[in-house]
Amino acid sequence: MKILICQPKLEPKLRQLHHELIAHPGIDAVIVPEGYMNENVEEACQLAHEFKVAIIGGYRRMQERPKDRAIAIDREGRIVLDRIKYSDTAFANVDGWRVGHILCDELIQQGLRTEDQRSADLIVHPIGVGMFSEAQFDEWIDKARAIAAERGCYMIGVSHADGSYGDTGVSISIAYCFNRQGETVFIARGEAGSRVVELELGG
């Protein structure tokens, strides 16, 4: 599977995603940060259908608490996963891959919380904003690496290119990919930008 890991800035619409899809023809799926889609789910579904690409990430229902939700949209523009933050980890079939979804600080708060012991091929970890310290960055990387190794699955995480937690004013953008053995495919610390990885289902 050829995956575009999209690291846009916070924005009200999906202009950067549209631009990235035009700039990267031939990809199978795109991963975006937590909350990036805002309430633009219909537009995201249209883009998935138009470009024949799965879109996995997060959106928001601003009138609900918590407002953040995990979502996966298939190549036909159909929603195949939709769950509220801090609920149990959900899985969906995306292009023949069994994909799980951890939203941002769920990684630390609850990890991969599920009674479903079937193996996953890929865990996607959309993150809202960058890390507020080097220590937090290292903690999240270590936890993600451990999940990939323990569950024998790929794991990919990405934050927005901007924005900071609370009033810290500090934001170290983060993106990473680990293979099924927990080995590093790449780690991007404060180096915002989109990346493409090509992963083998049995790799």
Q: Where are the domains of the chain?
A: 2-198
Ranges assigned E (strand) in the chain: 2-5, 29-31, 54-60, 68-73, 79-84, 90-94, 97-101, 122-126, 154-158, 174-178, 184-189, 195-198
What pLDDT score does 165 carry?
Answer: 61
Domain 2-198: give its CATH code. Answer: 3.60.110.10
CB atoms within 10 A of CB 51: 20
Instruction: State both tokens at 106.
Output: 């769920």
- Whether cis (ω within 30° of 0) applies to the bond prior to 33 is no
**How confident is the model over 56-76, as a mean pLDDT?**
95
What pLDDT score does 201 carry?
Answer: 84
The alpha carbon of 5 is separated from its chain's Cα centroid by a whole number of angstroms, namely 8
Assess whether pLDDT exceeds 80 at residue 30: yes
Which residues, in sequence order, are CB contacts of 110 under 8 Å at separation 6+?
86
Q: Mean pLDDT in the chain?
A: 94
**How confident is the model over 50-76, as a mean pLDDT?**
96
Torsion angle (degrees, nearest 10) of CA 35, 61, 125, 8: -20
* Residue linked to tokens 């609370």: 166
Please state the pTM of the whole predicted model. 0.95
